[in-house]
Amino acid sequence: MTGETMVEVDFRTLVSDLTLEEKISLLSGRDFVSTPGVPRAGIPPLKTVDSVNGIRPTDFHGQLSTASFPNTACLGSTWNADLLERLGQQIAQQAKFKHAQVVLGPTINIHRDPRAGRNFECFSEDPLLSGHLGAAIVNGIQSQGVGACPKHFVCNDSETFRHYYNVDASPDGRPLREIYLAAWQQLLKRSNPVAVMTAYNKVNGTYCCENSDLIEKILRKEWGFDGAVMSDWFGTRSTVAAIEAGLDLEMPLPFFRAAKLAKAVQSGEVSEKTIDARVEKMLQMRNRTRPSHGEGPERSEITDESNAIARDLAAEGIILLKNSEMTLPFSTSDSPKIAVIGEYGQRPILTGGGSASCEAQYRQVPHELLREAHPNPDNVKYAAGVRTRVIVPVADSSILRAKNGKEGVDVSYFNDDATEPLLTEVLDEATIFMLGKYKPGLKVPGSHLEMSTTLTPKTTGTHLLAVRHSGAFSLRVDDVEVLSGPVPNITTEQFLFSPIKYETRLDFAMEAGKAYQIHLKMQSRELTIGEPTPYGATLCFEEQYSEEGAIAEAVEIASKADISLIYAGRNQQHESEGFDMDAITLPDNQTALIKRVAAASKRTVLLLHCGNPIDVSSFEDSVDAIVNMHFPGQEGPAAVVDILTGKTNPSGRLATTWFKTLEDWPSFGHFPSEKKENGDVEIKYEEGLSVGYRASDRESRIRWPFGYGLSYTSFSYKDLRVKVDKSSSPATLKATVNVANTGSILGKEVVQVYVSPSQNTQAWRPERELKGFAKVSLKPGESREIGIEMDLDTSCQYWDEAEKTWKLDVGEYKVKVGSCSTSFVI
């Protein structure tokens, strides 16, 4: 059934025709990505997909590619809602290629602390910016008949113990109302998503999935949201409490519904009227996503439209943070000698880790792009520098041989009560991944696998052998056991996102060109209660290298270059769903590489892959320019080269404050969550409203402020006018200012409007808060009057905790316009 052939019927009218069993079936998933339909009644299933940075295939570890767009923190740095709405349209098209009806995103959590694992897939520290840009993506997606499901409602701002921690704050307290809930309120004022996903954590002692104060009181009654509410994956915690609180859909499987929910109805704990209300929400999702229903194999298509959007997003999100003596842009016309240094100069990092990651359709190579842009390509030299990985890489198939003589490994699967293998196969890559869905006939528990191959190293040395394993294992080399390990104490989530937690490794002396017989045996593990049981094994291998030699090679080419470009930063093993970081400094080996290359180079440009801020204290003064590349998607490397060479003028602006050190963040000392003696896990938002730039008492600790970003041109502001219109509904505040490009090249400026509270305010308030913004493109010498209209109440009010309502104090409010949160030209 497709959207074109589907009968134009309001699916909600079918509720009375459904049996109780059919109704209940619609309130939970049937597998990892989809919900069932009711074929008898013509009700189709629903398929969900991650994410707004690239649409993943059904198979979590599948290799089917997609258009890869920049990470959401990069999207936030564009400050361009119009561009993000166009992104939403392309995301919808990519979802249709995967025959999906609902995109799980965007992520609307706040950059509270720079160690948070998923900050890279969130917009900003600011609720207004987050809500505006999130709404733009939602509107773009839904304009194409695909649904959007923003996540995670609310306060999933940390990954440590995310399934259990309690945010010790009331939904009627000012921090939640003015920061964390405010982002959602802004989004819902400007868009109407088909669904909202709840967070794993508790707020004020109650899990979000069963928190009626959040779902029914605030989301539905106060804000008027009429879409569906769904759980995060394995995020439902109860049968009765969750459905009574307003949770319509449990994903991905009915651990708390199905027979348990039917029993609750039969016992009178849940009324069928409540079931009907939840079913109506699920049927309304089908009404609103009707054009996207389709059948057929998932596919990947490279389109000019998606590539153009990906390039524009990267170009407008990449931020020039430092540019001493106009180091950038540099011209290639006079054939400069360029040193490109760093592993990311060969293999750039396009996405962060976890459900927001995806397999890009192609991967541009930065040093090759620079060679293409250079009149004398031989003047561009490359050195890999130091290694940046956390885990040992999968053994390269080029040095592995299966029994048939081809690259790969032989794998046999055995049930423990049998002497012969159930199945034997040859795999191109030395990795096996199964999650809940196993080889036909394979018993779990009660089985094991055996992987064998011939490994021939290219060099002589003490190499790294490692195994990532879900169960107890032994590894034999030439029929001698060299490594073994017990069943790792990991959750299903850690199996997906934290491979370092189940990796066992050893140093092993090997000779170049010698063939070693490798045999890995791994036992299945016991079933995991409430989640699918992981079953996976990976053979990992890395040849020895000299870190000092790698740095020396980089220094050698840098010393002969006119300019050195160091590609550094983080990858998916540092920033990912599933865990938070411990620190925000770069690894010591990267810091050493940067400082030694900079000392040898005439001019040095540092290009950073990151979703979170990095403490650059130890090397900022050593380099001439710093570029925040984010994780820029498949067109990002080309966008970076365009900025380096002046083809594109950088226009990204920070959506999150970069303080100087971790200790300078207002959240320091209160992040992440902590497990108490009684087993409870709690996180306190002790900084209150002082999130990011709102902590005005910390301005001396800021390295680069919120809203900051350099350009190759300059801008001036004049003639600010402010008008209040109380006759409109709602009342509006409009700031109008004249902005001029006073430089010599085309540039884009982000005009930012901040409001300071009345002196008569009855409560402590931040010194200034962002209330409006606009991005404008100006030619050299061009000036334009920019008008930014804002909701008067939203711009001036605060939450009164005693009265539990928004309050606007009488008095004079200051309107400030400028290019960042600490620099106001008017």
Active site residues: 232
Tokens 């600490």 correspond to what residue?
822
Q: CA of 404: how far to CAs of 18, 379, 423, 429, in Å?
A: 55, 44, 16, 15
C-alpha 819/C-alpha 317 separation (Å) is 15
Q: CA of 766: how far to CAs of 127, 716, 743, 759, in Å?
A: 14, 27, 34, 12
C-alpha 720/C-alpha 826 separation (Å) is 7
Q: ∠ CA(712), CA(714), CA(720), 5° rounding?
A: 150
C-alpha 810/C-alpha 472 separation (Å) is 68
By CB atoms closer than 10 A (0-12, 13-18, 19+), residue 516 is middle
Short-list 569, 466, 597, CA closest to 520: 466
**Assigned token pair, 610:** 């990151």
By CB atoms closer than 10 A (0-12, 13-18, 19+), residue 144 is middle
Instruction: Name the residue type at position 556.
Output: E
Q: CA of 547: how far to CAs of 343, 386, 387, 413, 532, in Å?
A: 13, 6, 8, 40, 41
C-alpha 561/C-alpha 369 separation (Å) is 17
Sign, Cα dihedral of 596, 601, 602, 604: negative
**Assigned token pair, 615:** 């403490």
What lies within 8 Å, CB to CB, of 814 at 6+ separation is: 755, 756
What DSSP character marks residue 189?
Answer: H
Short-list 322, 252, 187, 174, CA closest to 803: 174
Find how far residue 52's CA is from the centre of its chain: 9
CB 346 within 8 A of CB 367: yes
- How many other C-beta atoms can be found within 10 angstroms of the C-beta atom of residue 722? 15
Q: CA of 661: how far to CAs of 115, 195, 319, 415, 664, in Å?
A: 12, 38, 19, 54, 5
What lies within 8 Å, CB to CB, of 242 at 6+ separation is: 209, 210, 231, 236, 250, 256
Ramachandran area for residue 338 (φ above 0: left; ψ -120 to 50: alpha; else beta): beta
Element (H, E) at 277: helix 272-288
CB 232 within 8 A of CB 155: no
Sign, Cα dihedral of 205, 209, 211, 213: positive
**Assigned token pair, 470:** 């879900």
C-alpha 88/C-alpha 106 separation (Å) is 10
Partnered with residue 228 across adjacent β-strands are: 195
CB 339 within 8 A of CB 563: yes
Q: ∠ CA(736), CA(737), CA(742), 5° rounding?
A: 160
C-alpha 53/C-alpha 62 separation (Å) is 16
CB 463 within 8 A of CB 543: yes
Sign, Cα dihedral of 196, 202, 203, 209: positive
